[in-house]
Chains A and B, each alone.
Chain A
C-alpha cells in the first residue's frame, strides 16, 4: 500500500493507506483523533466536518490522498476559543455529538468573514444537522463571535 504524508494540525505524519481510504477513518482509527464524529458516513450531516487544505469539508467522504493538510476540532481548540465559550454560554450544545462539526464549520465561516446577519449565518450553518437545540442557540453563538469580531475591527 502506498506511503503518504499528511499535515495534521500542524504536525507532519506518515501514513500507509489503501486507495479509496476516507479521511475520517484515518483521523479516528489511525490517528486517534475522535473529535470528528461519524453520524451518517455519507456527507449528509456535517458531524465530521474538518478543514482540509483550507476548505471546510465532510471528512467521511473525502479521499485521504486528496488532502495535504487537515485541521480538526482538536487542532482548532485555540482558534475556536471564543466560539467554544459562546457555545457554552448560549446553550448551543445539548447531547454534543454534532458540536465538533458545528464548531469547525463556525470557524471556517468566521475565517471567510461572514456578515453579521442571522439569516446568512443560518444558511451558512445549514450543512450541520443538530437534533437537540433547534439551532437558535448555535446561530446566537456564532453571531455573538461575529459581532465581537466586528466590534474589535471598529476599535
Chain B
C-alpha cells in the first residue's frame, strides 16, 4: 500500500546530485544560442528595423523579426481575445516586448549582434496605470469594442443582492489592492527548438506545465498540424501557473531553428524573467460587505479594476475566476459585481497560483474581520456561521460535495491558541484568521474534464507510466508512481513515470487549476486497473483459476499456491514491443465555464482551508514579524502527505511574500526592480516554521478521496496577515504588500506630525535650491530631462576585461594601478563585476589584491586597536569578531548580504561599493549614470526604501555600506596606499557622495583600524531591511561610554542609508551627552536629528523609522546596563 503514505520522489537521486536535466543543461551538438531584442519604450510605433549590420556580425546565423513569421496572433483564450503577435508587429506596447531575435554561435555573439540592430520608433503616449488608462481621452492601446482600454467587462448579479441588502445591519466599505507579484521560478524560462526540414517535424524541449498548450499554440502560429510539433521530457524548474500556457520563448526559438535548420536554445536571463514574463494581475477591488444582526452575510458589492498589462493572455479568465470566487465564498445573500479588465502599457499579467482568488479573498476576508469587529463577534465564529457546507450550491453554481471548513477553523483555533492570543489585541502582537476555497480542475476548456494515461508492463517487471502533462515541481510524478504501484501491486521503486513526451500518445491538458493530482491520478488509476485486469486474466488462465482469484502483490500475480512475476505475463503476441501496453481515458462530469452567466458547476469538487497567523509589529520601524503560522486544509485524503504538506508550506511562504514584501515596481512603464536583490521575496530566515494541518476526509469524487491542493495554500495568507496586524496594532491596511512604510505611516496617522518631526525648510536656505528642483520635477522638469536630456547621456563602452594581474605587494599593486589606464582594484569582485556588466564602470582590467598577504590579516595591535586588512573577507571578519567579542561588528556583519557573498566580499570592497539605487543599477539613464542632462528618477519614482531623507542633492542615492555606518560609530580610520605613500582617512571623512569616496583612483585601501577606546564602548547596530540580507532601508549605529555615575560621557550616533553618506546625528548625541540613559532621554534624543531632514514625497516615513532604530539601539543598550533591571524599565511610549 503506497497511496496515503510518504514515498520518495522517484528521481530523488538525480535531483540531489545535480543530474536532472533542465533546458539549459541539455547537450545539443551544434545548437545555436538565441537572444531577444526588446522594446525600450512602453508604447511606440515601429517605423523600421534595420538588421543589415547585425546579420554580418561574427557568429550570427539568423535574425528574425515579425516579418519573418506568419501574421498570426497567439490563440490563447480564443480569437475574440487574441491580441498578441510573437514578435511585435508595427507597434510595441510595453517595455520589454519582443521586437527581434538573434541566433548565434555563442551568447556573447548574439548579444553583440542585438546591439547592432537599429530600430526606429515613433513614441506614442503611454498609459502605464489603471487610473490613467480609463481617464477620458486616454490613448487606446488596442482597438477594443468594450471601450477604450477596457479589454473585458463583466457586470453581473448573483442571487438577489437588493433583497439581501434589506437585511443588512452592518456594512463595511473599502478599496483593496493586491499589486503585481512575480512567479520567480528559479529556473529561467527556456526552450530548445529543432526543426527538421525534410520530415517537417519541429521538436521542442521546453520548460512548461502543459506541453499540450505549447504544441497547440506553436502549431497554430506556424500553421502546422499539431502532430508535427513534438515535445520531449525535460526537468522543469517551477511553474506556479506561469508555464501553464505557452510563454513567449517557444515560438521565437522555433522560428530561429526553422530559419537556420539548426537546433536553437533560448533561455531568458533573470532580468527578462522579472521584466517580461507574465505576472500576477494587480486587482483594485472596491468592496462593500454587509451582515445582518446575527452575523449572516447579506449583500456583497464589488467594483473591480484588473490591470491587464499590454495584452490579454489570461486576463479575461483570471477576472472571471475572481468574480466567480467573489460569488462563491460563504453562504451569501446576494452579490453584484462590475469587473473591468484594463489595458496598460506594462508587461502583461498571466496565470498565477490562485488565479484571481488571492486578490478577491484579500478584500473579502479583510472585510469579514471588519464585520466581526462591528458586530463584536469572534472572527472565527463569524466565519464558521457563514461557511460553505457539503450540499450547498454557491451563488456561482458550485456544488459543494465535501466541505470541512468548520473543522479547519476549529483546528487553527486550537493550534494557535486563539482564545488566549485574542486577549493580546493592541499590544503589538496579534492573531488573524482567513479562509479560502478553490476549484479542483475547473472546466475552462471543453476537454479539461478529460485526461488519458498509458501503463506499460515490461518483461523485467518494471512498470512505466506514460502521462501527457508535466511535473514542474508539484510532485505529480511521485503521485503517479504511487497510484500505479498501488493498482498493480508493485514496489513504487519499480515504476518509472514518463511525462511530456508527445509521442507517447496520451492526452492531457497539463498541471494547472489544481487539477494535476485529480485528473492524472484518476487517469493513471483507471488505466492501471485495466492493465491489472489483463494481468489477472493472463495469470488466471495460466493458473487455471478465475481472474477474481488472482492477487497482484509484491510484483507477482498469485493465486493459491501459484505465483508468477508480472514480467512473465507479458510478451504475448498481441503485446507491443514485448510489453503489455494499456491506454485509457478518464472523464469527469462537470459543467463547462459559462462566460455569459458566470454560473456553472465547473469543478468536480472544491477544496477548503483556514489559516491563522500570529504577528509582532515593531512600532519603531513598522516591521512585521510572523511569529507563528498554522494552515488547516480540507483537500480530502492525502496521497502523499509529505508532498501535500510541501504544497501547503510552499504556498503559504509565497503568500507571505505577497503579503509582506513582493511587488513589481514601475517607473514610466519600465520595471524598477528586475532582480532578486530588489525583490523582497522570502529567504529562509524571513519566515517562521509553517504548521500544516491536514483535515483528512474522503472526498466522494476525488481519486482515493483526494482534492486539489496546489493553489489554495497561497490564497488566504495576505488577509490572515492583514487581520493579524489589525489585531496587533489596530490599523487596517488595505494595500499589499504590508511593507514597513505603510505600517508605520498608518500607525502615525492621526498623530500630530509636529509631535515627532519638524523639517522647517523655510529656515534652511541651504536647502532652498534643492526644494525648488523637487518642486519643478513634477511640473515639467522631469519630463524634459527624461525625454530630451537623456539623449545626451554618455553611453557605456562595451569592452571585455583585457587583463587580470595579481600583485604580491601593496607597492606593486599601487604601481600597477598608476600605470595601467582604467585599472581597478578587485577584492571579492561581488560588486565590481556586476557594476561592470551594468555599464556603470568600465575598467579595462583589474588588479587582484587578494594575494597580498598583509591585506588579508586581522590583528589586535599592541595598543589594543583592531587592524583589519582591506582584503579580509566579511566572513573572516565575522568569525574573528565572534571570537574577539566585538559584538557590534558581529551584529553588523550578520546583516550583510548572504553567507556566500560574505565569503567572497572584502572589507575594502564593502566600503567602496557603488550605490545601490535601483534606478541607477537597473538601466535607467539617470543623473549619475548618464550625466547632468539626465533626471534623478528617484525624485518622481518609488523612493520609499532606498533613497535619502536628509542632505541629498541632485542624486537621491545613499552609501550602501552597513560596515561604514558601524565603523563611523567606532571612530575607525581607513589606511590607503598610493603614489604619495600611505595616509589615513577617518571613515567619517571617507565619503564625498553616495558610494563615492575621497580616495584617488590609484590608491588602495590597505587596512581599517578601530581604536581600543571605541572597542571598549557600549555599542549597538540596528538595521531596517525588507529581507534577510537586503541592503539597509535605514540603519543606526550607537556607541557610548558612561561615567561611573552612569552619565553618558562620550557618544556617537550614526545613521546609515538615510543620507548620501553615513552621518553623525550630532543633535542626538548632544541630547544624550551628560544624561543618564533613561526612557525619557531616549525618547527625546532619538528624534532630535529630524529637524535636518528633507525627505522626498514618499519616504518621510524613513525619518520615523530611523528614529525608531536609534530608539531601539539605545533601549537595547539600556537593557545591557548592569544597574537597570529589565522589570524596572517603564512603559515605552510607542509600544
Asked if residues B801 and A99 are in contact (CB atoms below 8 Å), the reply is no
Query: Within 8 Å of chain A (Cβ to Cβ): is B690?
Result: yes
Asked if residues B903 and A134 are in contact (CB atoms below 8 Å), the reply is no
Asked if residues A19 and B187 are in contact (CB atoms below 8 Å), the reply is no
Query: Within 8 Å of chain A (Cβ to Cβ): is B685?
Result: yes
Asked if residues B238 and A40 are in contact (CB atoms below 8 Å), the reply is no
Of all chain B residues, which has the CB nearest A25? B107
B residues in contact with A96, CB < 8 Å: 15, 20, 235, 237, 473
Of all chain A residues, which has the CB nearest B652? A134
Query: CA separation between A86 and B301, bound complex, in Å?
Result: 50
A residues in contact with B880, CB < 8 Å: none
Asked if residues B237 and A95 are in contact (CB atoms below 8 Å), the reply is yes
Query: Within 8 Å of chain B (Cβ to Cβ): is A154?
Result: no
Of all chain A residues, which has the CB nearest B640? A91
Asked if residues B8 and A136 are in contact (CB atoms below 8 Å), the reply is no
B residues in contact with A100, CB < 8 Å: 16-18
- What 9 A-B pairs have minimum CB-CB distances, sorted nearest first? A35-B18, A127-B898, A95-B473, A97-B237, A134-B653, A20-B801, A73-B18, A134-B649, A88-B12
B residues in contact with A73, CB < 8 Å: 17-18
Between A and B, 17 residue pairs with Cβ closer than 8 Å are: A19-B845, A40-B270, A65-B804, A65-B806, A74-B18, A87-B16, A88-B16, A91-B645, A100-B16, A105-B899, A105-B900, A126-B1028, A131-B240, A131-B681, A134-B653, A134-B654, A137-B642
B residues in contact with A132, CB < 8 Å: 186, 238, 473, 646, 650
**What is the size, in residues, of chain A's interface with B at 8 Å between Cβ atoms?**
74
Asked if residues A61 and B800 are in contact (CB atoms below 8 Å), the reply is no
Query: CA separation between A69 and B904, bound complex, in Å?
Result: 15
Query: CA separation between A51 and B1026, bound complex, in Å?
Result: 28
| A111-154 CB contacts (< 8 Å) to partner B | 118-119, 121-139
Query: Given contacts A20-B800, A134-B690, could you give 13 more A-B pairs where the C-beta distance is less than 8 Å?
Result: A28-B24, A28-B25, A41-B269, A42-B270, A45-B186, A61-B833, A66-B850, A97-B473, A103-B16, A123-B894, A124-B899, A131-B240, A135-B684
Query: Within 8 Å of chain A (Cβ to Cβ): is B803?
Result: yes
Given contacts A47-B186, A56-B903, A131-B186, contact A94 B473 (CB under 8 A): yes
Most interface-central of A40, A49, A103 (chain B CB within 10 A): A40
Query: Within 8 Å of chain B (Cβ to Cβ): is A36?
Result: yes
Interface 1/0 per residue, B664-682 and A, CB below 8 Å: 0000000000011100011
A residues in contact with B1029, CB < 8 Å: 126-127
Interface 1/0 per residue, B240-283 and A, CB below 8 Å: 10000000000000000000000000000110000000000000
A residues in contact with B899, CB < 8 Å: 56, 105, 124, 126-127
Of all chain B residues, which has the CB nearest A43? B830
Query: Within 8 Å of chain A (Cβ to Cβ): is B802?
Result: yes
Nearest Cβ in chain B — how far from A95, in angstroms? 3
Given contacts A58-B900, A94-B475, contact A84 B17 (CB under 8 A): yes
Asked if residues A55 and B904 are in contact (CB atoms below 8 Å), the reply is yes
Query: Within 8 Å of chain B (Cβ to Cβ): is A71?
Result: no
Query: CA separation between A46 and B901, bound complex, in Å?
Result: 9
Asked if residues B829 and A63 are in contact (CB atoms below 8 Å), the reply is yes
Of all chain B residues, which has the CB nearest A125? B684
| B7-21 CB contacts (< 8 Å) to partner A | 8-9, 12-13, 15-21
Asked if residues A129 and B681 are in contact (CB atoms below 8 Å), the reply is yes
Chain B interface residue number, banded:
35 or more
A residues in contact with B850, CB < 8 Å: 66
Of all chain B residues, which has the CB nearest A46? B900
A residues in contact with B472, CB < 8 Å: 95
B residues in contact with A22, CB < 8 Å: 833
Query: Within 8 Å of chain A (Cβ to Cβ): is B796?
Result: no
Query: CA separation between A87 and B875, bound complex, in Å?
Result: 27
B residues in contact with A133, CB < 8 Å: 646, 649-650, 653
B residues in contact with A10, CB < 8 Å: none
Most interface-central of B16, B649, B826 (chain A CB within 10 A): B16
Nearest Cβ in chain B — how far from A62, in angstroms? 7
Query: Within 8 Å of chain A (Cβ to Cβ): is B236?
Result: yes
B residues in contact with A103, CB < 8 Å: 16
Within the complex, which residue of B236, B475, B689 is in contact with A118, where a contact is CB–CB below 8 Å? Answer: B689
Query: Within 8 Å of chain A (Cβ to Cβ): is B683?
Result: yes
Query: CA separation between A116 and B689, bound complex, in Å?
Result: 16
Given contacts A37-B22, A126-B683, A134-B649, contact A19 B801 (CB under 8 A): yes
Query: CA separation between A124 and B236, bound complex, in Å?
Result: 27
Query: CA separation between A57 and B833, bound complex, in Å?
Result: 15
Asked if residues A94 and B650 are in contact (CB atoms below 8 Å), the reply is yes
Nearest Cβ in chain B — how far from A75, in angstroms? 10
Query: CA separation between A98 and B677, bound complex, in Å?
Result: 17
Query: Within 8 Å of chain A (Cβ to Cβ): is B316?
Result: no
Asked if residues A34 and B903 are in contact (CB atoms below 8 Å), the reply is no
Asked if residues A136 and B677 are in contact (CB atoms below 8 Å), the reply is no
Asked if residues A55 and B903 are in contact (CB atoms below 8 Å), the reply is yes
Query: CA separation between A61 and B802, bound complex, in Å?
Result: 17
Instruction: Identify whether the interface residues of A are mostly helix, strand, loop, or mixed.
Output: loop
Query: CA separation between A34 and B654, bound complex, in Å?
Result: 28
Asked if residues B235 and A38 are in contact (CB atoms below 8 Å), the reply is no
Query: CA separation between A145 and B846, bound complex, in Å?
Result: 41
Query: Within 8 Å of chain A (Cβ to Cβ): is B184?
Result: yes
Within the complex, which residue of B27, B642, B804 is in contact with A19, where a contact is CB–CB below 8 Å? Answer: B804
Asked if residues B900 and A40 are in contact (CB atoms below 8 Å), the reply is no
Query: Within 8 Å of chain B (Cβ to Cβ): is A8?
Result: no
A residues in contact with B960, CB < 8 Å: none
A residues in contact with B13, CB < 8 Å: 84, 88
Query: CA separation between A33 and B830, bound complex, in Å?
Result: 23
Nearest Cβ in chain B — how far from A97, in angstroms? 3
| B21-39 CB contacts (< 8 Å) to partner A | 21-22, 24-25, 27
Given contacts A19-B802, A131-B238, A139-B684, contact A91 B646 (CB under 8 A): yes
Asked if residues B898 and A46 are in contact (CB atoms below 8 Å), the reply is yes
Asked if residues B683 and A57 are in contact (CB atoms below 8 Å), the reply is no
Query: Within 8 Å of chain A (Cβ to Cβ): is B834?
Result: yes
Asked if residues A57 and B15 are in contact (CB atoms below 8 Å), the reply is no
Asked if residues A58 and B685 are in contact (CB atoms below 8 Å), the reply is no
Query: Within 8 Å of chain A (Cβ to Cβ): is B537?
Result: no
Of all chain A residues, which has the CB nearest B267? A38
Query: Within 8 Å of chain A (Cβ to Cβ): is B185?
Result: yes
Asked if residues A61 and B681 are in contact (CB atoms below 8 Å), the reply is no
Within the complex, which residue of A57, A65, A129, A136 is in contact with B186, where a contact is CB–CB below 8 Å? Answer: A129
Most interface-central of A80, A87, A93, A96 (chain B CB within 10 A): A96
B residues in contact with A58, CB < 8 Å: 830, 900-901, 904
Asked if residues B184 and A131 are in contact (CB atoms below 8 Å), the reply is yes
Within the complex, which residue of A37, A91, A129, A139 is in contact with B642, where a contact is CB–CB below 8 Å? Answer: A91
Nearest Cβ in chain A — how far from B360, in angstroms? 23
Asked if residues B645 and A97 are in contact (CB atoms below 8 Å), the reply is no
Of all chain A residues, which has the CB nearest B14? A96
B residues in contact with A136, CB < 8 Å: 649, 689-690
Interface 1/0 per residue, A66-79 and B, CB below 8 Å: 10000011100100
Asked if residues A35 and B186 are in contact (CB atoms below 8 Å), the reply is no
A residues in contact with B21, CB < 8 Å: 34
A residues in contact with B654, CB < 8 Å: 131, 134
Query: Within 8 Å of chain A (Cβ to Cβ): is B188?
Result: yes
Asked if residues A32 and B900 are in contact (CB atoms below 8 Å), the reply is no
B residues in contact with A19, CB < 8 Å: 800-804, 845
Query: Within 8 Å of chain A (Cβ to Cβ): is B97?
Result: no
A residues in contact with B185, CB < 8 Å: 95, 97, 131
Query: CA separation between A126 and B899, bound complex, in Å?
Result: 8
Most interface-central of A32, A88, A134 (chain B CB within 10 A): A134
A residues in contact with B848, CB < 8 Å: 63, 65-66
Interface 1/0 per residue, B874-907 and A, CB below 8 Å: 0100000000000000000010011111011000
Asked if residues A95 and B236 are in contact (CB atoms below 8 Å), the reply is yes
Nearest Cβ in chain A — how far from B642, in angstroms? 4
| B179-205 CB contacts (< 8 Å) to partner A | 183-188
